[in-house]
Chains A and B, each alone.
Chain A
């Protein structure tokens, strides 16, 4: 059984119209990861997170709640939920149950991306609270008018700030800016580069080989929409790692189930389970490149696999200095771990104290 489609899509569209994102984040959640990194504000070239990694702790908490709702009589009340959501940001409450540990790890991925770009001597700024969600969910679910309005708003905003180039960090935001915005925004001329492309081009120095094998899980969007499959492998090898390919890899990669998490959680879990079986056949250390693959496969794998984002894998293998200050999020909820112990995941990445 599916969750009620129309009211949920309505909530997404309302949220973007009223609050600028399908899953509006507090300023602390959206920009907290950059604390202490001294990234200059704005500039012609900016690192664009699109809030995707920052959303993962909320999506994680939400999908647990949604799957319990999927077969419940409560689905009848989603219509009311949409009415209430117009006045009160319902997704705010999701943030209260997000795990602090997941928040810390998501923030660390972004910090590792900054570390890698700096290692490659790439110069960039960051828009902080002036950055917006790109609108992928609206586009994918066919909410075309809402998407077009949002895309025009975001583009006008970027132009006003004098942004000429974006360095994106996830597949969905990359696809939106590169392929969807030009269809809906007249004369869209902002250059869009993905950080994996930027790093591969910069040619980071080869690191000492480490005795570690990783299994690569390609994102569908990277491999089949924006043609990024060669770069992550080059980067992993250059970081001294041996790369193993699952049965379906590159252009033939198998979906993680993530896109169905919002409307059909049960189906999403079936698909992620199938993919975990394929990956587990090749090894225990899995590398993902998309925030949603990361969360979804991590949850599906439980203790079977260690699922880590490529930025963290690269930074760790190159032993880049861990940027300090991944201090515990204020939204920590001790109850979360007790309620979903299987979601606790591997140990948190240790943070080093500030010198």
Chain B
């Protein structure tokens, strides 16, 4: 059974700069990633927007392994701030999961 946390979704929505809603799932980001990102950004952002806390938690290593190199972002046809979204997600995880500021 998948647990949904509306709080996670709301908290991310409230964060300035998080604009994953514009994604139309074309996959350009994944195709260009020099890391071969372990999880598709579009899947990760969907999990966040749906509030799938447990799924997001299992992706913590992937979230911290992003290079923030912006290869995906400058080529995103929808102008999603992918790198900034990842950074915002890190900030949330640091506070909620690690107790770090």
- Chain A positions within 8 Å of B, measured between CB atoms, are 2, 5-6, 9-10, 13, 139-146, 220, 224-225, 251-252, 254-255, 257, 259-260, 263-264, 267, 271, 274-275
Contacts of B67 in A (CB 8 A): 220, 255, 257, 259-260, 271
Contacts A142-B88, A259-B68, A267-B35 given; indicate if A10 touches B74 (C-beta within 8 A).
Answer: no
How many residues of B are counted as interface, with CB atoms below 8 angstroms from the partner's CB atoms?
Answer: 25
User: Is the beta-carbon distance between B65 and A255 smaller than 8 angstroms?
Assistant: no
User: Is the beta-carbon distance between B88 and A267 smaller than 8 angstroms?
Assistant: no
How far apart are the CA atoms of A6 and B101 in the complex, in Å?
Answer: 11
Secondary structure call for the A interface: helix
Contacts A10-B100, A13-B100 given; indicate if A224 touches B71 (C-beta within 8 A).
Answer: yes
User: Is the beta-carbon distance between A224 and B98 smaller than 8 angstroms?
Assistant: no
How far apart are the CA atoms of A224 and B65 in the complex, in Å?
Answer: 19
Contacts of B101 in A (CB 8 A): 13, 143-146
How far apart are the CA atoms of A145 and B99 in the complex, in Å?
Answer: 12
Contacts of B73 in A (CB 8 A): 224
A-B contact count (CB 8 A): 80
How far apart are the CA atoms of A146 and B90 in the complex, in Å?
Answer: 13
User: Is the beta-carbon distance between A274 and B34 smaller than 8 angstroms?
Assistant: yes
Contacts A259-B68, A271-B67, A274-B34 given; indicate if A251 touches B91 (C-beta within 8 A).
Answer: no
Contacts of A140 in B (CB 8 A): 68, 87
Cβ-closest 6 pairs across A and B: A142-B90, A142-B91, A145-B101, A220-B69, A255-B69, A224-B70
Q: Is B94 an interface residue (CB 8 A)?
A: yes
How far apart are the CA atoms of A271 and B68 in the complex, in Å?
Answer: 14
Contacts of B92 in A (CB 8 A): 142
A351 to chain B, nearest CB (A): 36
How far apart are the CA atoms of A255 and B92 in the complex, in Å?
Answer: 25
In the complex, residue of chain B having the shortest beta-carbon distance to the beta carbon of A257: B67
B21 to chain A, nearest CB (A): 20
Partner of B70, one of A139, A220, A264, A267: A220
How far apart are the CA atoms of A114 and B77 in the complex, in Å?
Answer: 41
Contacts of A139 in B (CB 8 A): 87
In the complex, residue of chain B having the shortest beta-carbon distance to the beta carbon of A251: B74
The A-contacting residues of B in range 30-87, CB under 8 angstroms, are: 34-35, 60-61, 64-65, 67-71, 73-74, 87
Contacts A144-B91, A263-B65, A267-B35 given; indicate if A252 touches B100 (C-beta within 8 A).
Answer: no
Given contacts A255-B35, A255-B67, A263-B65, 17 further A-B contacts (CB under 8 A): A9-B94, A10-B98, A140-B68, A143-B91, A143-B94, A144-B91, A220-B68, A224-B70, A225-B70, A251-B74, A255-B69, A255-B71, A259-B68, A260-B65, A267-B35, A271-B35, A271-B67
How far apart are the CA atoms of A131 and B84 in the complex, in Å?
Answer: 28
How far apart are the CA atoms of A57 and B37 in the complex, in Å?
Answer: 29
User: Is the beta-carbon distance between A143 and B34 smaller than 8 angstroms?
Assistant: no
User: Is the beta-carbon distance between A9 and B65 smaller than 8 angstroms?
Assistant: no
How far apart are the CA atoms of A10 and B101 in the complex, in Å?
Answer: 9
User: Is the beta-carbon distance between B71 and A142 smaller than 8 angstroms?
Assistant: no
User: Is the beta-carbon distance between A6 and B98 smaller than 8 angstroms?
Assistant: yes
A295 to chain B, nearest CB (A): 16
B96 to chain A, nearest CB (A): 11
Q: Is B23 an interface residue (CB 8 A)?
A: no
Contacts of B100 in A (CB 8 A): 6, 9-10, 13, 143, 146
Contacts of A143 in B (CB 8 A): 91, 94, 100-101
A292 to chain B, nearest CB (A): 11
Q: Is B89 an interface residue (CB 8 A)?
A: yes
Partner of A2, one of B64, B68, B89: B64
29 contacts between A and B (CB under 8 A): A2-B64, A2-B65, A5-B60, A5-B61, A5-B98, A6-B97, A9-B94, A9-B100, A10-B100, A13-B100, A141-B94, A142-B88, A142-B89, A142-B90, A143-B91, A144-B91, A146-B101, A220-B68, A224-B73, A224-B74, A225-B70, A251-B74, A255-B35, A255-B71, A260-B67, A264-B65, A267-B65, A271-B34, A271-B35
